[in-house]
Amino acid sequence: MLLAENAISVSQLNAYVRETLWKDEFLRQVLVRGEIANLRNYQGHLYFTLKDEKASVRAVMWRSDTSRLTFVPKDGDQVLVAGSVSVFERDGIYQVYATYMEPSGLGALYAALEKLKAKLEAEGLFAPERKRPLPAFPRKIGLVTSVRGAAIKDIVTCGRRRYPGVSFVVVDTKVQGEGAPQDIAAGLRILDAMPDVDVIIVGRGGGSQEDLFVFNDEIVARAIYACKTPVVSAVGHERDITIADLVADARAATPTQAAELVVPDAYQLKAGIRKLTESLRNQMLTLIGGSRQTLSLLRSRPALTRPDWFLVSSRETLVRLQDDLQDSVTTLLERHRHLLSNAASKLDALSPLRILGRGYSLARLEPGKEVVTDYRQAPKGARITVTLKEGQLACLVEESGPREEDSGDEQ
């Protein structure tokens, strides 16, 4: 007979199983290979089933771990999952709690990929300074892709919708499988040799990691690097960046985005032209208005309202200057005339003639005209000329001697 007091609850059972599983070292870090099924993404958390030919197990990967994924998982992908095994206590179902996931069989490929990346980067194939700008208004776009894929339709449809005048030339190539790298490289060389191709888009639509590996091939990378025409890589994966993306002049996450990168939006161009036209019109109106105001001010000036105003004003100024000059000359002459009169008066006062006019005379000894100032210069018999106020006298000295008052002094 079962004893009720020995029974445990379902919650206790599930908790016990969970604790038991957690104590198992193997189950705390397990590596499982399987195929993804029933994948659901809920707010960044992944819920899915791992299965093989004989069995399946539930799995979950939290958002903190999915942020480190290097690929986008989807139903049907063969993957390697690392994590722990535990029980979801509410439902009593054991599941794998994944902390890491990578495509199965791609581990060695990823290691080789990283090695190739390092090699090409060292050679300068990824250098930003060598990347060329895309043409602003391409007339012809070259496409290296499969004509049977969705990428070509997305690019052509988007390109012609945005820029109706653009044309396309397509080189049909394999974009996955054996021989695809050589096919893509040949397509790039064909389009690069066409002088009227302005830009080349190389890529495909979405696909698995294995499908995308063709764009990590060294042959494709070197073909892109060798192109003289700008190249846009459009591999079609949002999160994964291929070597083709790193070498190309520009990278688009999807073929549609590649078309948006390459061709301008005609509607926006027209809107921009209208805006510029309106801005130019407003600037011209402002300039014309300012010029009209300046012209109006100029027209109101006397030089234009009465052209002879400057002549009349200048004539009045000239007459005034002439009068000032005449007054200045008259004043100057009068002042110098007065100075001359004063000088003449001084000279007249000092003139010998004025002295002669008072009864004095001037005696000169002949023939040397020596002025006689002493009687001893003119002894008896000497000839002298006496100058008077009026005329002169030629005299012969009969007697010479001192003045009488002088003789008295001598006595």
Structural tokens at position 67: 């942020």
CA dist., res. 224 & res. 187, Å (int): 10
Q: Is 154 domain-assigned?
A: yes
Residues 80 and 194 in one domain: no
Sequence-distant (≥ 6) Cβ neighbours of residue 222 within 8 angstroms: 125, 185
Q: Is 285 domain-assigned?
A: no
Output the CA angle 365-368-370, nearest 5 degrees.
50
Residues 81 and 146 in one domain: no
- Choose one of 264, 297, 317: the last residue of a domain: 264
Instruction: List the CATH number of the domain containing 254.
Output: 3.40.50.261
Q: Residue 141 gets which letter from DSSP? A: E
Q: Which of 239, 110, 112, 236 is nearest to 175 (CA)?
A: 236
Residues 96 and 154 in one domain: no
Residues 43 and 77 in one domain: yes
- Choose one of 264, 290, 323: the last residue of a domain: 264
pLDDT of residue 90: 86
pLDDT band per the 50, 70, 90 thresholds, residue 411: very low
Residues 89 and 159 in one domain: no
Residues 100 and 210 in one domain: no
Q: What is the average per-residue pLDDT within 68-79?
A: 85
* Coil vs helix vs strand at 202: strand
Sequence-distant (≥ 6) Cβ neighbours of residue 261 within 8 angstroms: 134, 232, 250, 252
Q: Is 15 domain-assigned?
A: yes
pLDDT of residue 143: 95
Residues 144 and 119 in one domain: yes
Residues 140 and 226 in one domain: yes
- Choose one of 264, 298, 329: the last residue of a domain: 264
Q: What is the pLDDT of residues 274-333, one digit of tens each?
A: 999 999 999 999 999 999 998 888 877 776 777 777 777 788 888 899 999 999 999 999
Q: Is 312 domain-assigned?
A: no
User: Is the predicted pLDDT of residue 144 greater than 80, yes or no?
Assistant: yes
CA dist., res. 191 & res. 173, Å (int): 12
Sequence-distant (≥ 6) Cβ neighbours of residue 394 within 8 angstroms: 383, 384, 385
Q: What is the average per-residue pLDDT within 27-38?
A: 89
Instruction: List the CATH number of the domain containing 54.
Output: 2.40.50.140
Residues 38 and 24 in one domain: yes
Percent of the chain scored above 70 by pLDDT?
Answer: 92
Q: What is the average per-residue pLDDT within 148-170?
A: 90
Look at the pTM and tell me if it is higher than 0.75: no
User: Is the predicted pLDDT of residue 104 greater than 90, yes or no?
Assistant: no
Mean pLDDT for all residues in the chain: 86
CA dist., res. 285 & res. 4, Å (int): 99
Q: Is 331 domain-assigned?
A: no
Please state the domain count of the chain.
Answer: 3
Q: Is 322 domain-assigned?
A: no
CA dist., res. 80 & res. 32, Å (int): 6
pLDDT of residue 238: 60
Q: Is 199 domain-assigned?
A: yes
Q: Put the strands of the sheet holding 362-365 in their side by side order.
A: 370-371, 362-365, 383-387, 392-396
CA dist., res. 61 & res. 101, Å (int): 9
Structural tokens at position 44: 């960044």
Q: Is 299 domain-assigned?
A: no
pLDDT of residue 233: 93
Residues 80 and 191 in one domain: no
CA dist., res. 225 & res. 218, Å (int): 10
For 243, the domain range is: 110-264
Residues 87 and 211 in one domain: no
**Weakest mean pLDDT among 94-98, 251-255, 346-350:** 346-350
Sequence-distant (≥ 6) Cβ neighbours of residue 178 within 8 angstroms: none
Residues 98 and 210 in one domain: no
pLDDT of residue 410: 45
pLDDT band per the 50, 70, 90 thresholds, residue 209: low
